[in-house]
Structure 1
Amino acid sequence: MKLKPLVVAAFVGMTSLSSFSALANTAVKFTLDWKFEGPAAAYLVALEKGFYKEQGLDVTIDSGNGSLDAIPKVASGTYEFGFADVNSLIKFKDQNPDSPLQGILMVYDKPPFAIIGSKQTGVNTPKDLEGKVLGAPAPDGAYAQWKAFTQVAGIDASKVKIDNVSFAVRESMLVQKRVDAIAGFSFSSFLNLKKIGMAPEDIHVMLMADYGLKLYGNTLLVNPAFAEAHPDLVKGFVAATIKGWQYTAAHPEESVKYVLERNKIANEAVETERLKMCLKDNVVTDNVKANGFGGIDYGRMDEAIEQVGMTYDFHHKPTSKAIFTDAYLPAKSAREM
């Protein structure tokens, strides 16, 4: 039996439409925690090289205004994915105990929280802070860990004077020796100090994680409703993001160029150095080399939650399982760095 031309045309049209729909990528939005700087390169690499597209995703990446901005955006569904400090997530979960929001890929195995001293002021170890002045903006993320850091690092906090300087003058206060050390993010304060004239060899960066702080850093987040409805797409997003970080770790100079396309006022040399510091200190740690990128040790996370409690009063303290799930991670062999 022959089909009439009109019927054939309709059938072909329906088939083409069906094929197009099957191939169409799912649109999702991803918010960073901050501006387009060096560490954002991995996500832009995954976007521009088609890693997300290979997983059936049409991803839009937006800059952010801090973790406290990114977390509610993902929790509410304004964004399907986000990047934020897991310690801020711990506090969010305490304040919103019914929220199923979780981390799904631990990106910063070590957080960038740091104390930065200088040779001129004689602060090279945590104990050197005793009898000295620490410059720390009150809302700073690193300073938020100060109480816990003094306990785990054996510092007598009563012997350290705190000067709540502003972000705008923090680094210049150290250069001018008006404070003896500052609290800040390692790769930001170091580069700021270099920019205003301090010699790199005179800058001493102490990552809090190297002196007893068990905290993790930034994690990938997913909206719970989206994850429940599209678990395979979430796995695909995680796999593509891992691939982006792997490529970026192997090709940092090339990867930074994608950042420069989004941030026209960024300095290539500065952002390359920022990215390399982030990779070395926060992402590709000894633990990650041994155990793979993106997962966590739940025992360590339990300790981290206890340390958050040294600086924060819990009302509904979350468990490590409530904070992070490894359900969307690929096998360890696919997470090598």
Structure 2
Amino acid sequence: GFDVTIIKGEGSATTISSYAAGAVNFAFSDTPTLILARSKGALVKVAGVIHDKSLYALGTLIENNIKTPQDLKGKRIGSSVGDASRVMFPAFAKLNGIDADSVRWVDMTPPARVASLVLGQVDAVMLFVTETPTFSAKAKEAGKHWKDFPYADYGLDLYSHGLLVRDDLITNQPDRVKQFIEATMKAWAWSIEHPQEALAIFLKHNPAVDPDQAREHFRIAIKHIMTDAAKREGIGYIDAEKMKRTVDFVSQYFNVQGVSLDDVYTNRFTPKLFPKETPF
């Protein structure tokens, strides 16, 4: 078994940089950000995708009158520097006819985003779709109304977060890698089939989180895991065609060169798991 210590990240770019440098044994991070990092020398692959459907999103308040992505011009957007949605914003902007340099970034830690938005210190924030129940509830408490722009609904449905493995571990410790990937994917499969029990475990370790919001977060996460591809090939499986689209897209929009399909992913360690969703 594994005696695991979970270290909180500060965005995918920071996580990948630390992981590539050997600061931790395994990591969970964003695939397009990994592709960018790979082009800069980070010898890391994704070895099991968790969020088959992209979770990137931008959120605001209806009161801020941002009705379309084009309304973001000149707006202040709150985000941590390494946030995956922020890293991918230039591509989102190009797809939707926005000058990426026309927005103003306000750097902040992830916990500061909600208050900054509600208090009017920023006009929008970067987030993952799974976080929308929390933002919506906090907006409602302040007498305001939440609105979000999921990137996947605006032309940017790429592979999102997955389990990362360094190339040196794949070469030198393949059995350990296999055990970790299998254990993690089995935990996800169990959680999908036993959502109430999984939520209880999560809330035990995160007592400050509102149970109703946690339930909604988890429902969204499962929706983005249990895609048609996952139901057909098993959760965690990486489809070569979709990964090629992801690599090609990042290469095109970020002028990345020298990163091949084989550089960024492997299905070598992914178990064949087909969990059945349990309503909750």
In the superposition, the TM-score normalised over structure 1's length comes to 0.67
Partner residue in 2 for 1:51: none
Q: 1:289 to 1:204 in 2, by over 3 A?
A: farther
The residue type equivalent to 1:58 in the other structure is F
Q: How many pairs does the alignment contain?
A: 272
Partner residue in 2 for 1:297: 239
Cα separation, 2, equivalents of 1:254 and 1:200 = 33
In the alignment, does 2:200 pair up with 1:257? Answer: yes
Q: 1:307 aligns with which of 249, 257, 260?
A: 249
Structure 2: unaligned runs, 5 residues or longer: none
Partner residue in 2 for 1:157: 99
Cα separation, 1, equivalents of 2:59 and 2:18 = 32
Is this contact kept in 1: 2:78–2:122, CA < 8 A? no
Q: 1:224 aligns with which of 146, 154, 167?
A: 167
Shift of 1:109: 1.1
Deviations 1:259-290 (A, max 9, x none): 3343354443333332222222x322344334
Q: 1:211 aligns with which of 140, 149, 154?
A: 154
Aligned pairs for 1:1-337 (under 5 A) are 57-66=1-10, 67-96=12-41, 99=43, 101-123=44-66, 125-126=68-69, 129=71, 133=75, 135-137=77-79, 139=81, 140-152=83-95, 154-157=96-99, 162-167=103-108, 170-172=113-115, 174-175=117-118, 181-188=124-131, 190-197=133-140, 202-280=145-223, 282-309=224-251, 312-314=254-256, 316-331=257-272, 334-336=273-275
In the superposition, the TM-score normalised over structure 2's length comes to 0.79
Is this contact kept in 1: 2:56–2:84, CA < 8 A? yes
Is this contact kept in 2: 1:171–1:193, CA < 8 A? no
Cα separation, 2, equivalents of 1:318 and 1:121 = 40
SS at match of 1:257: helix
SS at match of 2:88: helix
Cα separation, 2, equivalents of 1:269 and 1:130 = 31
Is this contact kept in 1: 2:61–2:139, CA < 8 A? no
The residue type equivalent to 1:64 in the other structure is K
Is this contact kept in 2: 1:147–1:310, CA < 8 A? no
Cα separation, 1, equivalents of 2:104 and 2:15 = 29
Deviations 1:179-211 (A, max 9, x none): 664432223354134225358994233210222
The residue type equivalent to 2:106 in the other structure is V
Cα separation, 1, equivalents of 2:14 and 2:98 = 34
Structure 1: unaligned runs, 5 residues or longer: 1-56
Worse-superposed segment, 322-331 or 224-233: 224-233
Worse-superposed segment, 318-327 or 111-120: 111-120
Shift of 1:122: 4.8
Cα separation, 1, equivalents of 2:136 and 2:164 = 32
Cα separation, 2, equivalents of 1:210 and 1:226 = 36
Percent identity (aligned): 24
Deviations 1:205-250 (A, max 9, x none): 3210222114211111224333334434433332222221122123
Cα separation, 2, equivalents of 1:326 and 1:155 = 36
SS at match of 1:60: coil
SS at match of 2:201: helix
Deviations 1:160-191 (A, max 9, x none): 95232343664455546676644322233541
